[in-house]
């Protein structure tokens, strides 16, 4: 459980939070108190958005009706990911400790235990019709990232997921979402079974250019 007092947000060095907010998919059953979730959601509202429109809505999902939609959606999403990566339907062999096998196991755990995830949060945005949906979505993902970092500071584990798309129509109906709103992402959150740890990313020199596409900004 987090060591935070109700109403008091724990602090963590910002760079350390960014460096260690890797996705966690195994959660303990302990509930996430509303005040902890509220602090993370407040951090989400501090994100920038085009024209400061803040055309977002965060939907906290705990209902059995929403979980009934998410279960089959997660299973279908997993099948889709598995097919894309050419993985077998069987779980990895117990002695396979490769990175891929560990990732597969943790994804499978999330799929098999979707109903035990303490809470899900949907990140939704309203279409203005002035710019492309792609650009409009740019005004919701900063809010999701603020949420992920605030959750990291609280000691919560999180993982974003696109698997809700496999049950999106039903989910929209369960929550009564108006037609001009879109779901950008779903985040599963809870007190982690495992530990936060460093993310693995390509070095900045390999993904950054100076002035022209192939001119390195930094040595790689």
Which residues sit at the interface with ligand FMN, rule CB under 6 A? 22-23, 25, 77, 107, 110, 159-163, 185, 199
Pairing status of strand 56-61 against strand 119-126: antiparallel
**In this complex, which beta carbon is closest to ligand FMN, that of residue 204 or of residue 210?**
204
Instruction: Output the smallest distance, CB 186 to ligand FMN, in A.
Output: 8
Q: What is the Cα–Cα distance from 74 to 187, expressed in whole angstroms?
A: 12
Nearest to 196 by CA among 26, 11, 7: 26
Show the DSSP H helices in the chain as ranges. Answer: 14-20, 34-45, 64-84, 99-112, 133-137, 141-154, 168-175
Instruction: Output the smallest distance, CB 161 to ligand FMN, in A.
Output: 3
Q: What is the DSSP letter of 1?
A: -
**In this complex, which beta carbon is closest to ligand FMN, that of residue 157 or of residue 191?**
157
Per DSSP, the three-state class of 71 is helix
Instruction: Output the smallest distance, CB 36 to ligand FMN, in A.
Output: 21
Q: What is the Cα–Cα distance from 191 to 103, expressed in whole angstroms?
A: 19
Instruction: Output the smallest distance, CB 4 to ligand FMN, in A.
Output: 23
**In this complex, which beta carbon is closest to ligand FMN, that of residue 33 or of residue 181?**
181
């Amino acid at each position: 459980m987090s060591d935070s007092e109700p109403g008091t947000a724990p602090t963590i060095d910002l760079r350390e939070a960014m460096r260690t907010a890797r996705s966690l998919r195994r959660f303990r059953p302990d509930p996430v108190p509303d005040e902890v979730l509220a602090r993370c959601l407040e951090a989400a509202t501090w994100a920038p958005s085009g024209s400061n429109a803040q055309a977002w809505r965060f939907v906290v999902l705990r209902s059995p009706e929403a979980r009934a939609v998410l279960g089959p959606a997660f299973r279908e999403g997993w099948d889709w990911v598995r097919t894309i990566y050419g993985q077998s339907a069987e779980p990895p062999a117990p002695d396979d400790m490769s990175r891929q096998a560990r990732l597969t196991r943790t994804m499978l755990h999330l799929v098999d235990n979707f109903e035990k995830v303490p809470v899900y949060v949907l990140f939704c945005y309203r279409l203005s019709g002035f710019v492309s949906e792609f650009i409009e979505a740019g005004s919701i993902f900063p809010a999701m990232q603020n949420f992920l970092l605030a959750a990291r500071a609280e000691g919560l584990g999180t993982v974003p997921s696109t698997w809700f798309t496999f049950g999106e129509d039903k989910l929209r109906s369960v929550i009564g979402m108006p037609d001009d709103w879109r779901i950008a992402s779903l985040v599963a959150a809870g007190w982690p079974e495992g530990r936060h740890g460093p993310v693995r990313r390509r070095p900045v020199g390999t993904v950054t250019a100076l002035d022209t596409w192939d001119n390195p900004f930094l040595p790689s």
